[in-house]
Each structure stands twice: as structure tokens, then as C-alpha cells.
Amino acid sequence: MSATLIIFSVLAAITLATAFLAIFSRNPIHSALYLVISFFSIAGHYLLLNAQFLALVHIIVYSGAIMILFLFTIMLMNLNKENEVHKPRITRLGAIVSFGLIGVVLILVFINSKPIVGEYVVTGEDYQSIKVLGKVLLNEYMVPFEFASILLLVAMIGTVLLSKKEKTEK
């Protein structure tokens, strides 16, 4: 067995285990931490695929920014109460049935899919290079890049305005 296969198997086991623990954990903070571990193991998969830039961006964006937002949301909403109201049995049964149906559909799609057979066209440009990636992003995709930054700015302003408490006069 090659070292790559062993590393892939270990990373896959960690990813699956922490993903299931994130779903089944009763404490939301533990779920968020399990999700961070899962994100780091997915970044390890990117490194196995020789996509170093994508792995670093994945760690920065998902494991860093988004999980910090999750943790702040959990702490602000005080969701770590253990005495949560239990869902009715019909709701749990519906969730199990819908999960099973989606799982069956996905398995059937994967079984019936056929690989693309054809010639792979190589342009010769190395998009792993941050220099080339920056040129492509800021030349060809400048307008969508700026739209994304404006969208994030509007979302941030909206969040601040929604979370701002009104002053009550006494």
C-alpha cells in the first residue's frame, strides 16, 4: 500500500467521523469544533490533490472565518442549553425518511453515472501559482469579484443594523 493511499484513508476516516459527530453531538459548541476538524481534514484532501492554494483558502475561509461566526452566533444566542425541547416522533420519522430517500437517489446517481471519456485539453498555464491566479481574478473576473465584495459589505452593514438594539427612553 502506498503512503498516499494510507494518508487518504486516514483523512477520509477523520472527515467522516467528525462530520457524524458534528451532526449527532448534543452540545452546539462541540458540533462546531467537530466541524472545524472536518474542515481541516478536507483541506488535507486538497493537499493530496496538489492544490495548496485551495487548501489554504479553505482553511482561512471555512475553518477560520465561518466557524468563528458560528461560534459567536452560538454564544450570542446561548444555544448550549441541554434541556432542549424534544421534537415529536412524526418530525423525526419524516427527517429519517427524507434522509433515506435523498441517500438512495444519490447512490443511484453515482451508480448510473459514466465517466467523461475524451481528451483533456491543456492550456499550459499553471493556475496553482498565486501570481497567475491574481492576474486572472483581477483582469478577467474583476466585475464579479467587485460584485462579491459589495454583496459582502451590504450583508455586513445589514447584520450590524439588525443586531443593533434600539435605545429605550426612560
Q: State how far the Cα of 68 lies from the Cα of 63, in Å rounded to an integer.
A: 8
With CA atoms as reference, report the closest residue to 45 among 99, 94, 4, 92: 4
Q: Each residue of 14-41: pLDDT tens digit?
A: 999 999 998 888 887 788 889 889 999 9
For a pLDDT cut of 90, what percent of the chain falls above it?
22
Give the CA angle between residues 145, 35, 30 to the nearest 5°.
135
Q: Is the pLDDT of residue 164 over 60?
A: yes
**Closest Cα partner for 4 from 39, 44, 42, 40?**
44
Mean pLDDT to the nearest integer, 7-13: 94
Element of type H or E holding 2: none
N- to C-terminal Cα separation, the chain: 74
Domain ranges of the chain: 1-82, 126-164
DSSP codes, 74-128 = HHHHT---S-PPPPPHHHHHHHHHHHHHHHHHHHHHHHH-----SPPP-----TT
Query: What pLDDT score was predicted for residue 105?
Result: 93
Q: Which CATH architecture has domain 1-82?
A: Up-down Bundle (1.20)
- Look at the alpha carbons of 155, 23, 40, 44 in this order and tell me if their dihedral is positive or negative: negative
Q: How confident is the model at residue 104 (pLDDT cuts 50, 70, 90)?
A: very high
The phi, psi pair for 128, rounded to 5°, reads -75, -20
pLDDT at res. 85: 60
CB 25 within 8 A of CB 31: yes
User: Three-class SS of residue 140?
Assistant: coil
Q: Are 15 and 38 in contact (CB under 8 A)?
A: yes
- Examine the pLDDT at 106 and tell me if it is beyond 70: yes
